[in-house]
Amino acid sequence: MRFPDLNGVLDAGSRLLEPNVRIGVTGLRRAGKTVFVTTLVDNLLKAGRLPFLDVVASGRFQASRLRPQPDPDVPRFDVEGHLAALTGPDPHWPEPTRGIGQLRLALRYRPGSALKRAVQPVSTLNLDIVDYPGEWLLDLPLLRQSFAEWSALTLNLAGQPPRDALSQSWRGWLATIDPAAPAEEEAARRGAALYTDYLHACRRADTLLSLIQPGRFVEPGDMKDAPLLTFCPLPGEARGRGSLGRGSLWALMDARYEAYKTNVVRRFFTDHFARLDRQIVLIDVLGALNAGPSGMADMKRALELSLEPFRHGSSGWLDWLLGTKIDKVLFAATKADHIAAHQHAHLRALLDRLVGDARSAIRFEGAAVETMAIAALKCTESVVTEHEGRQLRCVRGVPVGRDRPTVLFPGEIPEDADAFPPGRDKPYNFLPFRPPDDLGRDPRGLPHIRVDQALQFLLGDYLE
């Protein structure tokens, strides 16, 4: 007879008394992941701006504190440094996420029911927050694609506007090589360098191209110059195992692609993604509107691909003891402070349309899904002005590149959630804003829009 592992039983018991919840902060680039995590932590530590988090609103929340890293091999999220950037004498946006970061907060609260309080008057929830580059999220679909499949899809995408102009040098090089020729390291390095330049051009593009693979080519972390990053898509068929077989450039690129999947993507998925309990996906919808129809379509494609490999589904008690699944997913359109407050419902409607297919698939698997329009850091105020006898709802803040507050009419998102209705193919022009100058003077925590509602959806049941 096989007896249960004693350490496992003890670990499960400790989780009953002091449970952990692991939230993944994911999303594509420019969505504001770093600022979101910083605001979330700052407000949980100060609890001054969380009126829609039930445990705070009911007076049951006692305090929270930072605790040592749960995973000693994962870098700590530099919340102090990011707060200093936002609240210092010269407020500025912190550096974006370049690698994985993690933080643990212990939340102390009184349970909501008399029965729970009789068993344990004060409870503690350990909240683990995992933040990582959006580009790494986009590596996950590679787990289901062969080198031939990935090459065909990537080459097809690179030949379409606006990517065709950005990929000219790399595609020009491809036209000069023979994938069946004997493998040469110099050719592999040249192809990888040109392909990496193309990915960086996509990243810089005004059209906000989101689908950038592999993610480590633009955010290598500690893998810079590693042989694992010296491959690129090649023209050819799966026949590569025959006429393009052993010893060919195709075979070399294929082998490195598979090694990348095994040693980078699969390992990262196992160590981090597969351990998530809850997930928030931050999306810069306004940035996609600024980028135009191609930027919006690219973002939608990237989101659908990146969410496929996640394990979504309701967690029963056996899953909770032996291995978790993501049972709540929040899609959040960020930077809602860049538009007037009455436009937030339209922004959310557009987000609903953007993630509709992914949301339906996740709900089918049994997970709870919600969408919101949020601002991790509120930089503007909604104001009403009169222009040519017409009242306009505007925003007032300091745009990036300026030094004084300005009242702006940012434009409006269509009510029918069609971002580019017939007759409109031009991008929008929603401006970015600087952090306010007085952030460090308010002891209540960083100002935000609906971060407390996001927390209620993600954590409310744990804090009952």
The answer on pLDDT for 188 being more than 80 is yes
Q: Are the CB atoms for 332 and 281 separated by under 8 Å?
A: yes
Q: What is the mean pLDDT of residues 209-224?
A: 86
Selection from 135, 130, 98 nearest residue 221 by Cα: 98
pTM score of the predicted model: 0.88
Bridge partners for 365 per DSSP = none
Q: Rounded to an integer, what is the distance from CA 264 to the centroid of its chain?
A: 18
Q: What's the pLDDT tens digit per position in 104-142?
A: 999 999 999 888 888 889 999 999 999 988 778 788 889
How many C-alpha atoms does 388 have within 13 Å on its Cβ side? 0
**Structural domains of the chain in order of their starting residue, each with its CATH number:** 18-132+272-379+440-463 (3.40.50.300), 142-263 (no CATH)
The answer on pLDDT for 2 being more than 60 is no
Q: Are the CB atoms for 346 and 5 separated by under 8 Å?
A: no
Q: What's the pLDDT tens digit per position in 139-187?
A: 888 988 999 999 999 999 999 999 999 999 999 999 999 999 999 999 9
Q: Which tokens sit at 412?
A: 């409006």
pLDDT at 238: 42
Q: Which tokens sit at 361?
A: 């698939």
Q: What is the mean pLDDT of residues 275-287?
A: 92
pLDDT at 37: 97
Q: What is the mean pLDDT of residues 305-321?
A: 58
Q: What is the mean pLDDT of residues 191-210?
A: 92
Rounded to whole angstroms, the Cα distance separating 464 from 461 reads: 5
Amino acid at 377: L
Bridge partners for 383 per DSSP = 394
Q: What's the pLDDT tens digit per position in 12-49?
A: 444 556 899 999 998 887 899 999 999 999 999 999 99
Q: Output the CA–CA distances (angstroms, integers) from residue 439 to 56, 86, 88, 379, in the order listed.
A: 22, 7, 8, 10
Phi first, then psi, for residue 463 (nearest 5°) are -105, 20
Q: What is the mean pLDDT of residues 345-365?
A: 86
Q: Are the CB atoms for 347 and 434 separated by under 8 Å?
A: no
List, in order, residues 6 or more apart from 463 with CB less than 8 Å away. 53, 54, 55, 60, 61, 107, 109, 125
Phi first, then psi, for residue 169 (nearest 5°) are -65, -45
Q: Which residue has the higher pLDDT, 231 or 294?
A: 231
When mean pLDDT is compared across 103-107, 242-246, 303-307, 452-456, the lowest value belongs to 242-246
List, in order, residues 6 or more apart from 12 with CB less than 8 Å away. 321
DSSP structure class, residue 365? T
Rounded to whole angstroms, the Cα distance separating 215 from 208 reads: 16
pLDDT at 14: 45
Helix 33-46 and helix 79-87, axial crossing angle in degrees, nearest 10? 90
pLDDT at 291: 84
